[in-house]
Structure 1
């Protein structure tokens, strides 16, 4: 397949030849070249497809009427709010999950790491809904499922059993959450998380909302286990914003250690009251940074629209980015950065000017966007998009094909 007249990362127009799902050649655009059976790029931007590495498909209310927000403060209170309401939704959960994933793909996201809440209330019901959506759209997106103890590992007996069952059934990431603050036993919590990850040879992703020094303490325990078990490159910290709020020296130290252990960081670009991590410093330290939408208009919050380009705008905005290079770097995080978390064979972003993913030999997972520049595309977030997965067009103009 030929993709004619596109501008990789906003550079000069080229023609991309796709062979066996890979970029086979990149050549200057030839307007006389026939494009029968191919794609007319029309001078649009070409970027790697988006990678959402932190989304809760299992609690989505996308497509349903807005409802009053009834959540109580804190992780436990919000979790209970979800528990009390998710079964009463207007549409069954499997349909909601499939609809949300479909919308994400249509907007340009072809790599997804989704949480699946597992506890003694829902057992494997939410996991099975995410697994069904993954299988339904398996030819249009790569989906990883995380076994996630949203209610903690230790507070409700029986939780660990269901988590292990999900790993047997195909979950590829083992989750943890606030080892000190929620379960109040960080050693036992992390022993279970890393023990199951080692047993089933899956990655680890720890939700970390804990404040300041407590977040640093939990992170030190996570790093100890990463090093001791040889799990470099297989661990992600999600949220973990308070790691930047103790002191500059402490932040610099944890960034250096994360880079050395190839511990990645997934952000949802919140408006925090503290100091934001410096994205450039994290990239320079070799940390894989990825972006996600978190909840999708669910029982936790009304935010989320299935569009990671919108969340890219939010990442740039909340970090106060104005220079084109830094806004483009936010787009690189939303695309290639997350891809490198899901597939560690992909190289890390090397600097704020690194624009990978569109070279000969790269997988043909692309999104074509209207825009004068990458920065303008992030600001405008237009609907003129074509989504390509494994060398095949899977969506166009925000509609699944």
Structure 2
């Protein structure tokens, strides 16, 4: 890995200093070897690079002409609308996924957890598209792929063999979705999901859109499986929009159980905050990460490949105003997500934790303009330089 001396930067908005990246890691006390390349930070903020841990690269339409939203409410109608339209775009899924991943890197992302839809309509086509995008940017970004049954595991015959094939071809995670409302067979769904996880020795990610008491019911069944199979640290709950909306006792119990079983949480900063409380999760020791979800696809017109923008949204939807809490959102969007992707990365430990730039931390940085970290989140300026493993991979919103 190349060495790099990053001069005149302000880590997390602190005093200006130099950062040495050697052997892919930050060295705050090391001495650069003669001839080490130098990057002039120009007094900008230095932050750990972003980790998008919930994105659907296979469905993106960024860069294509804008189209009217045609989906109907509900997961199944949205699935059918996507199925009707996704092949009609002028570019292949591979081309769209590769471009969008590039846009994400240009804006500061160097770690991605992407879903790849597996169903009887697309087979492995969309999975292969995400694989191709990851390969195209392999020197700029670390990508993990989730084999994701968007239409359910059981609702259409033939889905499970396709999931098994994707896992056999290298999917890093196995996904599940709405055991009650989509597959309408929670036991059957979880039997199949955890059987695949056990067979291929991969962690589990569950998309949960189910409301209120039903969502809690499904979550309790999922947690039972984790406990019984000893899969501590091997489950991420995604979305889970309504788990904090039942009552205080249930919210407190779920936070405690997530911490006990080391269940992580991936949020996309939805408009209505009825999920488990962000600060309570972190203070309990739960790993929390952020993602952008779909990127202007057949599900939604939202998404712009900018995790700094999504960090603003996380702060805004939680009604955070204090600098400490807005910076906390940055910690979640950067190292919080990294801790979901790798158990070797320490989790964000408190609201005051500002991780990612100490000796031995990954040499992945984003340099951004701003008087303070909060100012950078509020302004979201384009003057950014992105470093991955000691190499500049993007500058001024252009790949290098």
Shared fold (TM-score, shorter chain, > 0.5) = yes
Matches within 5 A, 1:386-401: 386-401=385-400
Whole-Å Cα distance in 2 between the matches of residues 368 and 27 of structure 1? Answer: 21
Are residues 329 and 26 of structure 1, via their aligned partners in 2, closer, same or farther at CA, if it must alter by over 3 Å?
A: farther
Contact 1:276–1:319 (CA under 8 A) maintained in structure 2 = no
TM-score (norm 2): 0.97
Q: How does 1:125-274 map to 2 (within 5 A)?
A: 125-272=125-272
Deviation at 1:26, TM superposition (A): 4.5
Per the alignment, residue 317 of structure 1 pairs with 316
Q: 2: distance between equivalents of 1:110 and 1:59? A: 20
In 2, Cα distance between equivalents of 1:207 and 1:62: 23
Change (3 A) 1:5 1:206: same
2:286 counterpart residue number: 287
Q: Is the 1:316–1:330 Cα contact (8 Å) retained in structure 2?
A: yes
* 2:63 is aligned with 1:52: no
What CA distance in whole angstroms lies between the structure 1 residues aligned with 2:29 and 2:107? 25
Q: Secondary structure of the residue that 1:192 maps to in structure 2?
A: helix
Q: Which residue is 1:327 aligned to?
A: 326
Q: In the alignment, is the contact (CA less than 8 A) between 1:2 and 1:35 conserved in 2?
A: no
| CA distance in 1: counterparts of 2:229 and 2:57, whole angstroms | 30
Are 2:243 and 2:275, in contact at CA under 8 Å, matched by a contact in 1?
no
Structure 2 CA distance for aligned equivalents of residues 233 and 314 of structure 1: 27
Measure, in 2, the Cα distance between the counterparts of 1:182 and 1:275.
21
Partner-residue secondary structure (3-state), 1:395 = strand
Distance in 1, matches of 2:369 and 2:189, equals 47
Q: Which residue of 2 aligns with 1:21?
A: 24
Question: How far off is 1:25 after superposition?
Answer: 2.4
Extract unaligned runs of 5+ from structure 2: none
* Match of residue 37 from structure 1: 37
Q: Is the 8 A contact 1:15 1:27 kept in 2?
A: no
- Classify the secondary structure of the residue corresponding to 1:251: helix
Structure 2 CA distance for aligned equivalents of residues 338 and 384 of structure 1? 23
How far did 1:37 drift?
Answer: 2.6
The aligned counterpart of 1:7 is: 10
- Aligned match of 2:276: 277
Give CA deviations for 1:100-142 in whole Å, capped at 9, x if unaligned. Answer: 0010011100100000000000000000000011111111101
Conserved in 2, the CA contact under 8 Å of 1:26 and 1:359? no
- Quote the residue 1:344 is aligned against: 343
Paired residues of 2:243 and 2:274 also in contact (CA < 8 A) = no
Equivalent residue, structure 2, for 1:31: none
- TM-score (ref. length: structure 1): 0.97
- What's the offset of the Cα at 1:93? 1.4
Structure 1 moving runs of 4+ over 4 Å = none
DSSP 3-state at the match of 1:350: coil
The 5 A counterparts of 1:101-140 are 101-140=101-140
Distance (Å, rounded) in 2 between the aligned partners of 1:134 and 1:303: 23
List per-residue Cα deviations over 1:58-99 (Å, max 9, x = no partner): 001010011011001100000100000000002111111100
Alpha-carbon distance in 1 for matches of 2:204, 2:274 = 26
Per-residue deviation, 1:276: 4.7
The structural deviation recorded for 1:350 is 1.0
Q: Deviations over 1:231-278 (max 9, x none)?
A: 111100000021011001100100010011110111100101x53532
Offset from partner CA, 1:24-68 (integer Å, 9 cap, x none): 22589xxxxx99731001111111110000000000101001101
How many residue pairs get aligned? The number is 396
Post-superposition CA distance 1:299-337 (Å, at most 9, x none): 000100000000000000000000000000000000000
- In the alignment, the residues of structure 2 paired with residue 105 and residue 342 of structure 1 have an alpha-carbon distance, to the nearest angstrom, of 17
Give the structure 1 partner of residue 384 of structure 2.
Answer: 385
Q: Which digits, 9 at most, give the CA deviation of each residue in 1:183-242, with x for residues without a partner?
A: 011111011111111111111000000011111111111111111111111100000021
Tell me the distance in 1 between the aligned counterparts of 2:93 and 2:138. 19
Aligned to 1:302: 301
| Structural RMSD (CA) | 1.5
CA distance in 2, matches of 1:370, 1:318: 23
